[in-house]
Amino acid sequence: MTQDFSESMSNLTDEELIKIVTIDRNDYQTEAVAAAEKELKTRNIDATKIESVKLDIEEKETKDKEFESSIVSSWTRLIHTVIDFFGFIIIAVILSHILQLFYNPSDKLTIRLLGYALLLVSFFLYFVFMEYKFQKTIGKFLTKTKVVMADGRRPELNEIVIRTACRLIPFDYISYIFTKNGFHDKFSNSTVIRD
């Protein structure tokens, strides 16, 4: 008994149908391909358009594979973590020396709160400035990598701020060991690729 795929094929876009009858033809049952071809004829899609869309799909898939293969490894991300930790700590030390010139509290609670505030400010200054201005931190400069959005474009300022805030998620710094992209990449829809 053969299955009727006409209704399911009628719900697909032209691009999806063309992909079925050309690129993914061997991944579908013969009846499904025939139903897709019939639907294309019903929509009056000619061979020229089919070939044009097929080439566009193949080009996009090639670019997607190239992009995916350029995403850096977990070991490279570990190097970024170590180097960038020292980068923002150096900024915190510089800011604390500047602050001491103008304000030098004596009680321990104020000193502790100022210390935490300086670390947080330094953290955001370092990552937001470097990744927005250069698409790189010091660690990424050394490993010749850069931050891009998942679609390959340069991140906007608000996207970098979100990416940096997501770095504060507990265990973020080890999350990329278990997945290709860490929490701050996943939740900000960004990634790090070879430059």
**Pairwise CA distance, residues 76 & 120, whole Å:** 24
Residue 1 is predicted with a pLDDT of 43
Name the residue with tokens 């000619």.
46
CA atoms of 134 and 46, how far apart (whole Å):
47
Q: What is the pTM of this model?
A: 0.73
And the tokens for 149? 């959005």
Convert the pLDDT of each residue in 152-176 to its tens digit.
Answer: 899 999 999 999 999 999 888 888 7
For residue 2, pLDDT over 60 is answered with: no
On whether the CB atoms of residues 191 and 89 are closer than 8 A, the answer is: no
Contact 19, 57 (CB under 8 A): yes
Judged by average pLDDT, the poorest of 2-6, 16-20, 106-110, 186-190 is 2-6
Q: Distance between CA 114 and CA 122 in Å, rounded?
A: 12
pLDDT reported for residue 73: 87
**pLDDT-derived band at 103, boundaries 50, 70, 90:** confident
Specify burial of residue 86 (Cβ count, 10 A radius: 0-12, 13-18, 19+).
Answer: exposed
The pLDDT confidence band at residue 145, using thresholds 50, 70 and 90, is very high
Mean pLDDT of the chain: 90
pLDDT given at position 162:
95
Q: What is the pLDDT of residues 42-79, one digit of tens each?
A: 989 888 888 988 899 899 889 888 888 888 888 888 89
Percent of the chain at pLDDT exceeding 70: 99
